[in-house]
Amino acid sequence: MVIVMALDATEADVAAVVDLVEAAGGEAFVSRGLDRTIVGLIGDVDLFATLNLRSLTGVADVVRISVPYKLISREHHPDRSTVHVGGVPIGPDTVTLIAGPCAVETHEQTLAAAHMAQAAGATVLRGGAYKPRTSPYAFQGLGEAGLKILADVREETGLPIVTEVVSADDVDTVAAYADMLQVGTRNMQNFPLLQAVGRAGKPVMLKRGMSATIEEWLMAAEYIAQRGNLDIVLCERGIRTFEKATRNTLDIAAVPVAQRLSHLPVIIDPSHSGGRRDLVLPLTKAAIAVGADGVIVDVHPHPETALCDGPQALITSDLPELAEAVGTLTE
Amino acid sequence: MVIVMALDATEADVAAVVDLVEAAGGEAFVSRGLDRTIVGLIGDVDLFATLNLRSLTGVADVVRISVPYKLISREHHPDRSTVHVGGVPIGPDTVTLIAGPCAVETHEQTLAAAHMAQAAGATVLRGGAYKPRTSPYAFQGLGEAGLKILADVREETGLPIVTEVVSADDVDTVAAYADMLQVGTRNMQNFPLLQAVGRAGKPVMLKRGMSATIEEWLMAAEYIAQRGNLDIVLCERGIRTFEKATRNTLDIAAVPVAQRLSHLPVIIDPSHSGGRRDLVLPLTKAAIAVGADGVIVDVHPHPETALCDGPQALITSDLPELAEAVGTLTE
Amino acid sequence: MVIVMALDATEADVAAVVDLVEAAGGEAFVSRGLDRTIVGLIGDVDLFATLNLRSLTGVADVVRISVPYKLISREHHPDRSTVHVGGVPIGPDTVTLIAGPCAVETHEQTLAAAHMAQAAGATVLRGGAYKPRTSPYAFQGLGEAGLKILADVREETGLPIVTEVVSADDVDTVAAYADMLQVGTRNMQNFPLLQAVGRAGKPVMLKRGMSATIEEWLMAAEYIAQRGNLDIVLCERGIRTFEKATRNTLDIAAVPVAQRLSHLPVIIDPSHSGGRRDLVLPLTKAAIAVGADGVIVDVHPHPETALCDGPQALITSDLPELAEAVGTLTE
Amino acid sequence: MVIVMALDATEADVAAVVDLVEAAGGEAFVSRGLDRTIVGLIGDVDLFATLNLRSLTGVADVVRISVPYKLISREHHPDRSTVHVGGVPIGPDTVTLIAGPCAVETHEQTLAAAHMAQAAGATVLRGGAYKPRTSPYAFQGLGEAGLKILADVREETGLPIVTEVVSADDVDTVAAYADMLQVGTRNMQNFPLLQAVGRAGKPVMLKRGMSATIEEWLMAAEYIAQRGNLDIVLCERGIRTFEKATRNTLDIAAVPVAQRLSHLPVIIDPSHSGGRRDLVLPLTKAAIAVGADGVIVDVHPHPETALCDGPQALITSDLPELAEAVGTLTE
């Protein structure tokens, strides 16, 4: 941590910074320039962060140098991790395809979508039973009935399932059915939920908040890791920008950036980032080329009657190209 | 709702749209131009929204015309509302000052901050017992012990209290102590929480999500209103942009925009938007001038030792200017 | 300037940084922590910036501490400046109202708008003869014929004029007519234009780029100042964000932030930021309350036939409220 | 174009809209709903855009339906175009690699960079002689001396050259040396420059403004096309967002979106979007996978002494992987 003193800081101001840091058990190195003095701090950064150094007289700025997360950082864990979901690996040695309907509507629709997913080479099934919707008048999901459908379809197809949980209250129920718990973009900073999934004993897919920096996303993952769960897959799904041609702007560079900062696997959701069916395949190819550890894609047997996000679901005629994109490029 | 057909849409495509709308009980008016055909729909828009018209062959775009919220809309409720918090009005005829510490730390600190608040003319006390923090290593709040401190300070000062709730599980506990429940920026789309505060029988302050559009903010308020609670105060607290000089960018125009769209009161948080003490008073003056129904401000007796957001808290020497800003301009 | 070394930097890496800095005539102070080493640099920062320190092996980050502008900075010029436009002051002791039509269309329309401006208390007339338009099919302005109309109207009303220049080529022509040259938002980083207006011998109004940080805006002003012209007025006119309810998001906090960093006057354009007539008066009041040194407002005698931005122009019936807003609050 | 009337619009308000449209030679179709009336317009949209319909009493909104560009639109030109630069094609049938130094510094450095470019398979050389720089204290380029170096290096290597022009004044000079003129991100809406390059008789590479929507980018291309020049290559180079880990956020979806809207070729600049050497190769692979028609990459023989953007330049040891990325995936 570096303290930048103001131009008009006095010697007493500098001494006050040094005293406060030393009283907290740290060391402070003072560098005096022509114009300006800076103080470098050595010691426990998280402790320093509680000292409100920015509030002291004569302090112009406080610059944090080390990253604000530890358990998921690659600094002390250089090898990238693999997370297993019902036996299926997600990590540096594979490209995993996760596919299924945005929302579970009926057993028939979910099974048909699972068969579509398998036809494209998917090894994990996605499907939402609890749906966070911007409008209170939109379909909110089937709840536990949807979880039962997913479990039945797993039985019939052998595909492990990932499904979203939107409330700490529901974590036990969802964990009883799911192979992996999904935390959605709107809940990335729902801290009670992060702590609950951290204790649930199941792998977690953590979607990036649509306006979260990569650093905030990694700090959210740290909340989960702190509860003892390091089986976390990060999912980039687009961020909010001024561009209106797409639902969100896929931040494709987030994949290599997050993979350098954290040892956790990173996948991409091309369906929710683009929000348009015609963009799903190009973005899938880009995701694999950039080095993503997997993709999660919406498919639907009848998107024209889908209760959620029909316009972005792939249809049966798209599956060969999806299979080729995922398969060819992973060989 | 207006359906814009693609340039290459066929007559059969247009007919399919019309048939679907009429089958759903609506009316469809077709306008044919030289290049392009549009179809205007009359009927239940929320029903039309479930028809996935955008997925039909030949449809280029679907434009929604009416607003996606009803109970809080000003269209059918032209008079602006006043919400009462422990007897204190927030609404079009007053400028209400809410002040207090960002986080409740001790009884002594909270009482001192409450006296500061009163000295500046505040009529409601703010203070956080449950703190959502970006870093898992930051102070997370005192929980119910903090609520008890707030209740004691209310007893001693007569100020009603507003405090944040971060989980649907905690709503009953918080509602047992608080006069008003605050939903924070990171929880604006935590839908189970919105529904829980909608049922809690207490007024709610709904902060705008830091990356939420005004329309999404109003839809979040609609979630609360749907559960029977119309005592909602909207709070603009800055949005996320590329500008780094301030913590967030205060969207001051959101006040008149939201007041024209909704009958609910709208206040501003100048402390969290700027994130710097030197901006709080200028932004407070701007808030009142633009027509906000109140402001909510951080004050702290000893910001240099504050456990949360010390750099933005006003101190004792700022209070006369705050009092003048709020008082002079409201007379 | 502070150099942050990577966790795995060697002693040789640190020595290479020190050697490079010392070879350039600077001093380097090394602080070694448990994990990490930082190097503080003392000397000519602009010279250091050319050393590509970030490219050296073992360097994790380079943090600039001093501001990247000098002539317009308040660090060595603590008093705020006043700029005079045809004798009219814009600066800390006044609130100056600049008003007029977005585009000059005819002599009659411009004169009528100038009379409206005077009725509201304006002391400077605005009006565009060269219009940068997003669409090549939109009205592009009258060019020099428009400048002549402005000069005639100045003769008839006594109001000095500010008008936009969009190309370095046109600077001499525009400067021959105008009292103040305006550089628009799309040209804030048109560096040849900045240099040309810096040499033109007339005051300049520099609008903030719609996606420029405050620091970049100040660096653009430094380009003008470098050519010997310190008569610069900064104009905040809204930035680009994800919010669609307004044309741009007025960054009201930019006024106090820029006034603390620079000695130059700062004004606000409430017409272009909101893009809607109903927001102009609330935003004008907010601008004055936050401490802006002036406002620049669109007025039009017949906005329904305006060739540019009619929807945001104030009309005759708005003038008394504008006059009161500007006048009352400045007394 | 569709006019949405306000809830409280009267019959007279609707009639006024219809009359105005018909007087302008258009047709207006009125659709009356329970709550609300909409009016569909048929005719010359650009003419309608001048009518200020939004200013009429009773008008709530005006929705434009057709795209605001024509010459570069794919609507009437379904086949995608190929642009030739000194004989080298950029278009749907090839992946073209353009490489070279950010700035031309010396003949030796430029020639070395050109040899690096060729080693990686580049067929066009990039290099800047006129550099738009945020800071007035940064290296501003060699000007015409730099153009001469580029021409000499073209002679020695056979590579056609693309170089930036920053002012309408310089267009003739730059066009005398260059095979392709580059318009940079800060000049995307420098309309006099767009018009000048439109008349210059050379192909143009138009970089997307860092805060421009795709639609605005295409309208900027239309300015060039209007002057008779359809040899335009669009270049996505990252947009400005809240994310700070990268210099800009590469909007990879812009490639398929722009290719569907326009017949012009679309390439990607992975160097300026990421701003970090370690991201250039992953982003290059993503660019090719998503379907870009080419990439433009910074290379430098000695990035540690580069006068511009050294931290993002590829070095000699990166070239085999670049060659493989471009070559393998295009076969």
Q: Flag whether B68 is in a domain.
A: no
Q: Flag whether C205 is in a domain.
A: yes
Let me know whether C229 and C268 are in one domain: yes
Please tell me the distance from the alpha carbon of residue B92 to that of residue B78, in angstroms, as a whole number. 13
CB contact at 8 A, C125 and C189: no
C133 chain-D contacts, CB cut-off 8 A: 191
At position C108, the amino acid (one-letter code) is: E
CATH value at residue B127: 3.20.20.70
| Of D210, D222, D305, Cβ closest to residue C211 | D210
C27 chain-A contacts, CB cut-off 8 A: 33
CB contact under 8 A, A52 and B240: no
CA nearest A54: which of B269, B303, C261? B303
pLDDT tens-digit profile of C118-138? 999 999 999 999 988 888 877
Question: Across A31-45, B49-63, B192-206, which has the greatest mean pLDDT?
Answer: B192-206
Beta-bridge partner residues of D4:
D38, D61
Give one DSSP letter per residue of D205-270, joined into a string.
Answer: EEEPPTT--HHHHHHHHHHHHHTT---EEEEE--B--S--SSSSB-BTTHHHHHHHHBSS-EEE-H
Q: Answer whether C311 touches D (CB < 8 Å).
A: yes
Q: Partners for A (CB, 8 Å, 3+ pairs)? A: B, C, D
At position A193, the amino acid (one-letter code) is: L
CA nearest D89: which of D208, D206, D203? D203
CB contact under 8 A, D187 and C192: no
Q: Flag whether C301 is in a domain.
A: yes
**Per-residue model confidence as pLDDT tens for chain D (331 residues):** 788 888 788 989 999 999 988 888 888 878 776 667 888 787 777 778 777 788 788 888 887 777 788 899 998 789 999 999 999 999 999 999 999 999 999 999 999 999 999 999 999 999 999 988 888 877 889 999 999 999 999 999 999 999 999 999 999 999 999 999 999 999 999 999 999 999 999 999 999 999 999 999 999 999 999 999 999 999 999 999 999 999 999 999 999 999 999 999 999 999 999 888 999 999 999 999 999 999 999 999 988 778 877 788 999 999 999 999 988 444 3
CA nearest A22: which of A52, A42, A38? A42
Q: Flag whether A9 is in a domain.
A: yes
Distance from CA of C120 to the nearest CA of A (A): 35
Beta-bridge partner residues of A205:
A182, A233
Distance from CA of B238 to the nearest CA of C (A): 10
Look at phi and psi of residue C43 and say left if phi exceeds 0, alpha if psi is from -120 to 50, else beta: left
- Which is more confidently placed, B129 or B133? B129
Let me know whether C38 and C95 are in one domain: no
CA nearest B134: which of A44, A191, A74? A191
CB contact under 8 A, C54 and D187: no
Let me know whether C169 and C125 are in one domain: yes
Give pLDDT, residue B234.
98
Q: Answer whether C29 touches D (CB < 8 Å).
A: no
The total number of structural domains that make up chain A: 2
Q: Which residue of chain B has the CA closest to C276?
A: B257
The chain-wide mean pLDDT, for chain C, equals 91
Please tell me the distance from the alpha carbon of residue C47 to that of residue C54, in angstroms, as a whole number. 14
Please tell me the distance from the alpha carbon of residue D28 to that of residue B29, in angstroms, as a whole number. 13
Calculate mean pLDDT across residues C176-204.
96
The chain-wide mean pLDDT, for chain B, equals 91
Q: Partners for D (CB, 8 Å, 3+ pairs)? A: A, B, C
Distance from CA of A206 to the nearest CA of B (A): 15
Please tell me the distance from the alpha carbon of residue D188 to that of residue C199, in angstroms, as a whole number. 25
**pLDDT lower than 70: segments of chain A:** 33-35, 328-331
Distance from CA of C173 to the nearest CA of B (A): 35
Under the banding of pLDDT at 50, 70 and 90, the label for residue B330 is very low
Q: Answer whether C273 touches B (CB < 8 Å).
A: yes
Let me know whether B107 and B46 are in one domain: no
Neighbour tally for A64: CB within 10 Å: 12
Let me know whether B156 and B305 are in one domain: yes
Let me know whether C88 and C59 are in one domain: no
CB contact under 8 A, D285 and A289: yes
Burial degree of C145 (CB within 10 A; 0-12, 13-18, 19+): exposed
Both structure tokens of C288: 């004055």
Q: Partners for C (CB, 8 Å, 3+ pairs)? A: A, B, D
Let me know whether A107 and A54 are in one domain: no
Q: Which of A14, A21, A42 to probe by mutation at the C interface, max C CB count within 10 Å?
A: A42
Could you tell me how many CB contacts below 8 A there are between chain A and chain B?
A: 100
Give one DSSP letter per residue of B162-219, joined into a string.
Answer: EEE--SGGGHHHHHHH-SEEEE-GGGTT-HHHHHHHHTSSS-EEEEPPTT--HHHHHH
CATH value at residue D42: 3.30.70.1140
| Of D68, D310, D311, Cβ closest to residue C135 | D68
Query: What is the DSSP-derived secondary structure letter of residue D79?
Result: S
Q: Which residue of chain C has the CA closest to D192?
A: C167
Q: Flag whether A101 is in a domain.
A: yes
CB contact at 8 A, B263 and B289: no
The pairing of beta strand C232-236 with beta strand C266-268: parallel
Both structure tokens of A104: 């579970």
CA nearest B95: which of B302, B303, B255, B260? B255
Taking 60 as the threshold, does the pLDDT of residue C328 lie above it?
Answer: no
Burial degree of D75 (CB within 10 A; 0-12, 13-18, 19+): middle
CB contact under 8 A, D279 and A256: yes
Could you tell me how many CB contacts below 8 A there are between chain C and chain D?
A: 102
Calculate mean pLDDT across residues C76-102.
95
Burial degree of C116 (CB within 10 A; 0-12, 13-18, 19+): buried
CB contact at 8 A, D107 and D145: no
Give pLDDT, residue D28.
83
CA nearest D254: which of D207, D188, D197? D207
A67 chain-D contacts, CB cut-off 8 A: none
Distance from CA of D38 to the nearest CA of B (A): 8
D324's CB contacts (< 8 A; 6+ apart) are: none
Q: Answer whether A35 touches C (CB < 8 Å).
A: yes
CB contact at 8 A, B253 and C283: yes
Let me know whether C179 and C227 are in one domain: yes
Let me know whether B218 and B104 are in one domain: yes
Q: Flag whether B73 is in a domain.
A: no
Question: Across A5-9, B268-272, C46-50, which has the greatest mean pLDDT?
Answer: B268-272
Q: Answer whether B137 touches A (CB < 8 Å).
A: yes
D134 chain-C contacts, CB cut-off 8 A: 189, 216, 219
Q: Which of B214, B249, B259 to probe by mutation at the C interface, max C CB count within 10 Å?
A: B249
pLDDT tens-digit profile of C194-217? 999 999 999 999 999 999 999 999
Distance from CA of B54 to the nearest CA of A (A): 7
Question: Across B41-55, B129-143, C31-45, which has the greatest mean pLDDT?
Answer: B129-143
CB contact at 8 A, D161 and D124: yes
Q: Answer whether A34 touches C (CB < 8 Å).
A: yes
CB contact under 8 A, A190 and B191: no
Let me know whether C223 and C310 are in one domain: yes
Let me know whether D175 and D301 are in one domain: yes
Give pLDDT, residue A331.
38
| Of C2, C32, C66, Cβ closest to residue A2 | C2
CA nearest B275: which of B299, B252, B248? B248
A242 chain-C contacts, CB cut-off 8 A: 240-242
Neighbour tally for A298: CB within 10 Å: 28
Structural domain range at position D39: 2-63
Contact residues, D window 51-70, toward B, CB-based 8 Å cutoff: 61, 63, 65-66
Contact residues, C window 221-250, toward B, CB-based 8 Å cutoff: 239, 241-246, 249-250
Q: Flag whether B141 is in a domain.
A: yes
Q: Flag whether B122 is in a domain.
A: yes
* CA atoms within 13 Å, Cβ hemisphere of D198: 17
Give pLDDT, residue D34.
64
CA nearest B225: which of B264, B272, B283, B184? B264
Q: Which residue of chain C has the CA closest to D303?
A: C55
Let me know whether A95 and A58 are in one domain: no
Distance from CA of D45 to the nearest CA of B (A): 11
Greatest CA span in chain B, whole angstroms?
A: 75
Under the banding of pLDDT at 50, 70 and 90, the label for residue C312 is confident
